[in-house]
Structure 1
Amino acid sequence: MALPAWWESCRRWVLRPPGTTVRLRPLQERVQRAAQREGQLERLDDVALSALCRQSRADRDGVEFAAAARESARRALGLRPYDEQLTGALALAQGRIVQMATGEGKTLTAAIAAAALSADGPVHVLTVNDYLAGRDAQWMRPLYERLGVSVGWITELSTQEARREAYACDVTYVSVTEAGFDFLRDGLCTDLAERVQQPLGAVIVDEADSILVDEARVPLVLAGSTLTGQDLAQSMAELVRRLRRDEHYVLADEGRAAHLTPEGTALIERARGGIHLYAAENIDVLTAVNLALHAKALLTRDVDYIVRDGGVQLVDSFRGRVAQRRRWPDGLQAAVEAKESLKRTGGGAILATITLQAFINQYSRVAGMTGTALPVGDQLLEFYGLEIVVLPPHRPCIREDEPDRVYATSEQRDAAVVAQVATTHATGRPVLLATPSVAESEALGTRLRDAGIDCTVLNAKNDAMEAAVVAEAGTLGAVIVSTQMTGRGVDIRLGGSDQHDHARITATGGLYVIGVGRHDSGRVDDQIRGRSGRQGDPGGSVFFVSMQDDLITRFAPEKLPRLQPAPDGRLAQPAALRVVADAQRIAEQVNLEIHRNTWRYHHLLEQHRTTVAQLREDLLTSDRADRMTARHRPADHARLVQAHGRDRVARAAQAIVLHHLDMAWADHLRDMGELRESIHLHAFANLDPLDEYHRAAIPAFRQLIPAVEQRSAETLAGLDLSDPDWAPSDLGLERPSATWTYVVDDSPFGVDMERFFAGVIGLLRAGWQAV
């Protein structure tokens, strides 16, 4: 008996990935209708085609604009968008996350979508770095001009005026951090004319899973330029250098925490003149010791950070590259700098901060592109309300993905990698190796050269130079070692960027991708594989893993003794593959829980930030400051108005209230930061740290605005406006002479709360073993 149509619809809805994917058919039908217009539009002259583009941009159906954009791209760029690209553009314009494989043409897809979205207001295309922002904007500019859309781009070096001009365009390409920092700076302006951004409308996020999920909890920080001394950090670093592992301190929680032993505590107390380290009056010393110990025992040079140009530069754990302007919280940053005997950088008061997740949610419409969205579909829905459109490749992928090759030790793994590269390289087949860290990429590059194999190592250099090297990774005999491939923004074409030797490389089997070690996220591994097999080209991929890899030792250490290696160290048993897969699943689940809990802490602070921002906007655009001070000090206010006029008093009141509000907010951020760093200690008293955080933070914020009003009124009472050149600085209301920006590589839990997640790991292990 045939089932009713509604039953089949329900069945398909239940069986699809929960809350993540959107049906393709309606979008594909629109693209087919657009294709029917192609012959007619080819006969239009440029003037008529441009007029059609302008008229159809606001068409909600999108069919006419898709057809016009396809013909415009063919004339402007020499590129005819595939049906899949037009489908992706329509999905982006609807506010979806589009999953497109590497090499499928995301840049052109985003440009068509951004042009369509610009009919409703300015659009930002957020990239992972400055290089891609400039490259994509300039590459797509001829298309935008034909579509009647203005385009600009911003880099870290852009002046304030250049930023204002770029943001005034219909479409602006900018890295996500630069856009976030401009948002923070605009939030501290004392004059509306100083702002550079327009109200945030639509946004298209490149590498959406990386930005929206992996880096979502990363706070952007705008700080004052004042510096603090590092005497304590330096002295503690020198003292901690004397500590020996297992005698003075021990590692716990699978190497993610370090603790002093009684012997270590005694050594510190004697060195500090016989103090009691855990006494309340020595909390600053205890904090400095713990930070120095963390820097010594848990952070590794050339893995977690590199030292370059006289400073510590953090390595982005998601991309394996140097993270520009990223730093740890000031105490830990100072500890690492002291550990490396470097001059301290940064410091000073935090004036404003926002997480990337909260910043993205400021936009009225969010869309994004990536090659690996489905694995985080539930998170995209949970945190942003975004669904995914999965596009099929223009040509079927014929890449051969081999099973992992697992070895007992990292030494045996690396020897096998070099042997495999030598065998492959002898045939002329290009090889791309991806390593998890800077140190491993350098070490592997050295081993390859010692074996007589010439190679290029990429691991945190200039973005443009790296892109040029990657573009030629598909040439005959090329061997490139890289720390991951996310955000490179360049396709690897067989035969080189001009594909002059395409047939010859195809005959060798195409690009061979070798992953050296699995990553905490399977999506990163998928992105590495995706560099091969572009647009139906042949290719292959394989991962070499060792049981000494960080992923295994952290998340599946108890399974190691059960496996017996072959003489060359290889573990051929199916159980070895299960160990790797289980470790990666556990790592992904733990990272998800950390993301959720981090957001719970930042969510309250974001509510506070929104309240302050709304008040600040009201102060800038109305006479609220004048009314506020008049209400608190009516006599003083009336005296000033009589002597100097209402307009002048109102301007002075606005400057005074804005200053006190900004300083109170900076103090609140400092207090919340200190509270968050210590709140995990409540867990020892069987209290929920998050509840205790809210219990302290909410009353503190309730006092902020009344305190601002009181301080502003007191300042007004002593105001003397007789000097025609009066400025707020005359009352000591000084703002920082300069500001600087950075990204905090932070966790709000502290080391002890990570013990909770160690417990989660144990439960997950038990679950996987039961399965």
Structure 2
Amino acid sequence: MGLATKFRQKLRTFMQRPGSTVSLAPFEALLPRIEELEEELKALSDDELKARALELGDRLTGAGETEDSEPEESPEYVDSLQRAQPVMIHDDDLVEICALGREAGRRALDERAFDTQLLGAMSMLAGTIVEMATGEGKTLAAAIAAFGYATRGARVQIMTVNDYLAHRDAEWMRPVYDLLGMTVGSVGEGSTHEERVAAYACDVTYASVSEAGFDFLRDQLVTSKDDEVMPGLATLILDEADFILIDEARVPLVLAGSVEELVSPAQKAAEIVAKMEKARDFIRVEGGRNVQLTEAGARLVEREWDGIDLYAQDNLDKLTAINLALHARVLVHRDVDYIVRDGQVQLVDSVRGRVAQRRRWPDGLQAAVEAKEGVHSTAEGEILATITVQGFVGLYPTVCGMTGTAVNVGDELREFYRLEVAVIPPNTPSIRNDDEDRVYATAEEKEDAIIAEVAEAHEQGRPVLIGTLDVAESERLARSLREAEIECVVLNAKNDAEEAAIIAEAGALGRVTVSTQMAGRGTDIRLGGRDERDRDEVVETGGLYVIGAGRHDSRRVDDQLRGRAGRQGDPGGSVFFVSPEDSLIVRNGEPFTANVAADGRMTGAEVDYSVSHAQKVSEGVHFEIHRNTWKYGVLVERQRQLLAAKRRELLNTDLAARWVLEADKERYDEIADAIGDEETEEAARSIALAHLDRAWADHLAMLSDVREGVHLRALGRQDPLDEYHRVAIPAFKELTEGIQTSTVETFAEAELTDPDWDTSAAGLPRPTATWTYMVHENPFGSEIERFVSAMARALLGKRS
């Protein structure tokens, strides 16, 4: 079977399979018993309730443990494909966990957990991803699940999408944990080393997935055990699990270090490209996803750059800079892919419409865009350590989580993480009215129809939330609304700090809110406003009306927007406006025929099919890119784990000293006599760690270069992954064997005469500064991603 045939079968299978769910019946059977225990617990004092919770923990962790016993540290890495299901808790203990959690929530928050929240907590304790609708109380359900895991002696980390939610949820749930005898902490970007150590030592720690990942990476490069902050990884509960496990899965977390300052040609390239004319000096190719110089453009560059030969080998850096500057000018768009704020280029997350904190584009594109905008260039540095979000999550032996939209990615969760989905029914059935898509022939006619629809709802006083696909569209629609004398509030990446306040009032009488897809993450929209002052009047109008200004690449994101309305049985409605000129349809759709009315509205069976098909093609492409990236990442992650184990051995034992003693005992004894035994052992350790860290950084850079070009092997009927392995495996073997040899050689040659000797004296300087960032997805794709994407679209674009 050929490569194309296999590819087609995998993708079409993906498009046709719904995500399945697990049965809730075993947990539903326990609900009456939980309620029976409720009256007994209500009679206890706060101290008695805490004692009851601590007694349960002692029983579950086993007799004989002392008060100071530490939870057993987990192994650093657990292959997500071999992750065992959590040990099931006995029904009696599960009943008590939920009853205690419900009572603590009632006392601390004046919120008695619904049965559906208990079903969610029990499902998470069974190691599943829970789908719960907006406003159904996921935060309290997660706290009850965290209590259940912690009573079994495991430290629990609850990870969410940003620092704000991590801190908010930790403080919100703190009174609940206090009543249950549990300690809780949170970690944010501004946390000090001491604050991080204290937070991770708590029974339950809240953090963003990026911040926890960065702490993990920093711990991999410490030169003293005392500098570590994370005491092992045990249980992970994910908030917005689909976003973290699917949308963010391929994102590399990076720890970078300072390197020698180099003069970047980015600024000069940007100045030259700014003088170019389209068609004369450059053209767009590959369906508009790439750009290249014409012969006239190349001559222009050579003239402007002091008469150089642009294609000479020694001018490769200048050619690269020109190509990047062209991409920055033509393919990367301000207020769509990024914004400029506070003198910085800030990238926009295409899924959520929010500024992507501490993100930068790879391979020099970030510097090219900064030069284009004339802002200060930020350092990229040398990559010292990196791990993808998926790789980081794979380190945890126990993973579960919650989200409002999981079923649509059930197959991906199963394939990449061996996680199942449990769908929790809403406490109150939804009565939201979801209209069919309204499709218009042009983007202009679509926008006119949106304005008319908003005007009609606004006249009735009905609150409207308009979801847009990017910042530019949100601002354009807001201008059009104001021109129609409709006042509105705009929420996008430019004012994301005001998100909670804006969204909290989005359900107020007569309020019109225009927002990118960031709307509502972590904040409920209450009818009548934050204090529900006009609730009855808003209910009379039909509740919150959600209008989508276009279909997103993923159905989940559309479902999240819909979910802003109809919270907890509230009335509400939703509708999406679409045009064949939308980027989703342009990239993934096919030409179709339809009846077109005078206002441009298109109707007919072909219309709905074409929109749905384009979205499924887009999801299939992203799925295959995820699968492809994951296959390459498996090898790198295994190599990282092997090297991390060796590094821990060097850090915590005298292995490096033994290497040197075995090679040259006379030299070792000579140094020990001069500076002391402990200092000599420490010097050997420092040398070995420096060589290991240097070798790994070089290895990562080499693998990045190899992977970028290995897809070309497919043109010669070779499997790119096999070719990648043929390079990566021998290189790693050479790396590991070379560390001991290099350590011995450096120890023999170094002038070790001072107890305070530093490795920089032996030509092994450690970075003078380190920083962290996440590598943002290249807006026009890496070479290999463009290859996979083009192949997928070609195969899926034709109807079955």
Given candidates 652, 656, 663, the residue that maps to 1:625 is: 656
Indicate whether 1:453 and 2:486 are aligned: yes
Question: Which residue is equivalent to 2:123?
Answer: 91
Select between 188-197 and 500-509 the one with higher mean Cα deviation.
500-509
Indicate whether 1:725 and 2:760 are aligned: no
Question: Which residue is equivalent to 2:774?
Answer: 743
Question: Which residue is equivalent to 2:544?
Answer: 511
The TM-score, its normalising length taken from structure 2, stands at: 0.90
Task: Find the residue that maps to 1:69 and give its secondary structure.
Answer: helix
Task: Find the residue that maps to 1:37 and give its secondary structure.
Answer: helix
Say if 1:726 and 1:763 are closer, same or farther in 2 by CA, change over 3 A: closer
Paired letter, 2:412: Q
Indicate whether 1:661 and 2:687 are aligned: no
In the aligned structure 2, how far is the partner of 1:598 from the partner of 1:241? 35
Say if 1:382 and 1:661 are closer, same or farther in 2 by CA, change over 3 A: same
Offset of residue 685 of structure 1: 4.4
Aligned ranges for residues 639-658 of structure 1 at < 5 Å?
639-658=670-689
Say if 1:234 and 1:692 are closer, same or farther in 2 by CA, change over 3 A: farther
Contact 1:520 / 1:584 at 8 angstroms: preserved in 2? yes
Question: Which residue is equivalent to 2:236?
Answer: 203
Contact 2:18 / 2:408 at 8 angstroms: preserved in 1? no
In the aligned structure 2, how far is the partner of 1:733 from the partner of 1:66? 55
Given candidates 213, 226, 231, the residue that maps to 1:180 is: 213
In the aligned structure 2, how far is the partner of 1:752 from the partner of 1:63? 51
Contact 1:227 / 1:347 at 8 angstroms: preserved in 2? no
Question: Which residue is equivalent to 1:583?
Answer: 614
Question: Which residue is equivalent to 1:157?
Answer: 190
Question: Which residue is equivalent to 2:666?
Answer: 635
Question: Which residue is equivalent to 1:40?
Answer: 40
Say if 1:465 and 1:258 are closer, same or farther in 2 by CA, change over 3 A: same
Task: Find the residue that maps to 1:145 and give its secondary structure.
Answer: helix
Question: Which residue is equivalent to 2:391?
Answer: 358
Question: Which residue is equivalent to 1:74?
Answer: 106
Given candidates 641, 647, 652, the residue that maps to 1:610 is: 641
Gaps spanning 5+ residues in structure 1: where? 1-15
In the aligned structure 1, how far is the partner of 2:636 from the partner of 2:596? 51
Contact 1:128 / 1:207 at 8 angstroms: preserved in 2? yes
Contact 1:133 / 1:174 at 8 angstroms: preserved in 2? yes
* 1:514-559, Cα deviation, whole Å (9 max, x unpaired): 0001000000000000000011110000001111111011111x41
What fraction of aligned residue pairs are identical, expressed as a percent? 53
Question: Which residue is equivalent to 1:468?
Answer: 501
Task: Find the residue that maps to 2:364 and give its secondary structure.
Answer: helix
* 1:319-347, Cα deviation, whole Å (9 max, x unpaired): 01110110011411111111222221112
* 1:478-534, Cα deviation, whole Å (9 max, x unpaired): 111111136721111111222232222111100000000100000000000000001
Indicate whether 1:693 and 2:712 are aligned: no
Contact 1:164 / 1:196 at 8 angstroms: preserved in 2? yes
Offset of residue 71 of structure 1: 1.3
Offset of residue 70 of structure 1: 1.0
Aligned ranges for residues 84-233 of structure 1 at < 5 Å?
84-119=116-151, 120-226=153-259, 228-233=261-266
In the aligned structure 2, how far is the partner of 1:728 from the partner of 1:107? 48
Offset of residue 31 of structure 1: 2.4
Given candidates 698, 702, 727, the residue that maps to 1:671 is: 702
Select between 467-476 and 721-730 the one with higher mean Cα deviation.
721-730
Question: Which residue is equivalent to 2:77?
Answer: none
Paired letter, 1:26: P
Question: Which residue is equivalent to 1:22?
Answer: 22
Select between 193-202 and 19-28 the one with higher mean Cα deviation.
19-28
Contact 1:486 / 1:524 at 8 angstroms: preserved in 2? no
Indicate whether 1:757 and 2:789 are aligned: yes
Say if 1:749 and 1:135 are closer, same or farther in 2 by CA, change over 3 A: closer
Question: Which residue is equivalent to 2:81?
Answer: none
* 1:141-182, Cα deviation, whole Å (9 max, x unpaired): 100000111001111111111111111111011111100000
In the aligned structure 2, how far is the partner of 1:621 from the partner of 1:505? 64
Contact 1:632 / 1:713 at 8 angstroms: preserved in 2? yes
Task: Find the residue that maps to 1:322 and give its secondary structure.
Answer: coil
Task: Find the residue that maps to 2:439 and give its secondary structure.
Answer: strand
Select between 464-473 and 194-203 the one with higher mean Cα deviation.
464-473
* 1:293-321, Cα deviation, whole Å (9 max, x unpaired): 22122111110011111111100011011
* 1:187-226, Cα deviation, whole Å (9 max, x unpaired): 1111111111110110111100010001100001111134
Paired letter, 2:500: A
* 1:666-697, Cα deviation, whole Å (9 max, x unpaired): 11122222223333344454543333322222
Aligned ranges for residues 414-563 of structure 1 at < 5 Å?
414-461=447-494, 465-485=498-518, 488-556=521-589, 558-559=590-591, 562-563=593-594
Indicate whether 1:404 and 2:437 are aligned: yes
Indicate whether 1:289 and 2:315 are aligned: no
Select between 376-385 and 677-686 the one with higher mean Cα deviation.
677-686
Question: Which residue is equivalent to 2:745?
Answer: 714
Contact 1:680 / 1:749 at 8 angstroms: preserved in 2? no
Contact 1:131 / 1:463 at 8 angstroms: preserved in 2? no
Contact 1:678 / 1:750 at 8 angstroms: preserved in 2? no
Task: Find the residue that maps to 1:352 and give its secondary structure.
Answer: strand
Contact 1:93 / 1:117 at 8 angstroms: preserved in 2? yes
Offset of residue 278 of structure 1: 4.7
Say if 1:315 and 1:308 are closer, same or farther in 2 by CA, change over 3 A: same
Contact 1:226 / 1:347 at 8 angstroms: preserved in 2? no
Paired letter, 1:102: T
Contact 1:466 / 1:488 at 8 angstroms: preserved in 2? no
* 1:687-738, Cα deviation, whole Å (9 max, x unpaired): 4333332222222222112222222112211344432433334434321122
Offset of residue 45 of structure 1: 2.3
In the aligned structure 1, how far is the partner of 2:415 from the partner of 2:603? 39
In the aligned structure 2, how far is the partner of 1:713 from the partner of 1:496? 69
Task: Find the residue that maps to 1:703 and give its secondary structure.
Answer: helix
Contact 1:54 / 1:148 at 8 angstroms: preserved in 2? yes
In the aligned structure 2, how far is the partner of 1:228 from the partner of 1:418? 52
Contact 1:125 / 1:205 at 8 angstroms: preserved in 2? yes
Paired letter, 1:452: E
In the aligned structure 2, how far is the partner of 1:432 from the partner of 1:749? 32
In the aligned structure 1, how far is the partner of 2:713 from the partner of 2:329? 26
In the aligned structure 2, how far is the partner of 1:137 from the partner of 1:461? 27
Task: Find the residue that maps to 2:452 and give its secondary structure.
Answer: helix
Offset of residue 643 of structure 1: 4.2
Contact 2:387 / 2:637 at 8 angstroms: preserved in 1? yes
Question: Which residue is equivalent to 1:5?
Answer: none
Task: Find the residue that maps to 2:181 and give its secondary structure.
Answer: coil
Select between 211-220 and 572-581 the one with higher mean Cα deviation.
572-581
Task: Find the residue that maps to 1:212 and give its secondary structure.
Answer: helix
Paired letter, 1:117: Y
Say if 1:462 and 1:448 are closer, same or farther in 2 by CA, change over 3 A: closer
The TM-score, its normalising length taken from structure 1, stands at: 0.94
Paired letter, 2:323: N
Contact 2:492 / 2:518 at 8 angstroms: preserved in 1? no
RMSD: 2.1
Task: Find the residue that maps to 1:616 and give its secondary structure.
Answer: helix
In the aligned structure 2, how far is the partner of 1:617 from the partner of 1:31? 46
In the aligned structure 1, how far is the partner of 2:476 from the partner of 2:764? 54
Select between 624-633 and 108-117 the one with higher mean Cα deviation.
624-633
Question: Which residue is equivalent to 2:74?
Answer: none
Offset of residue 751 of structure 1: 3.4
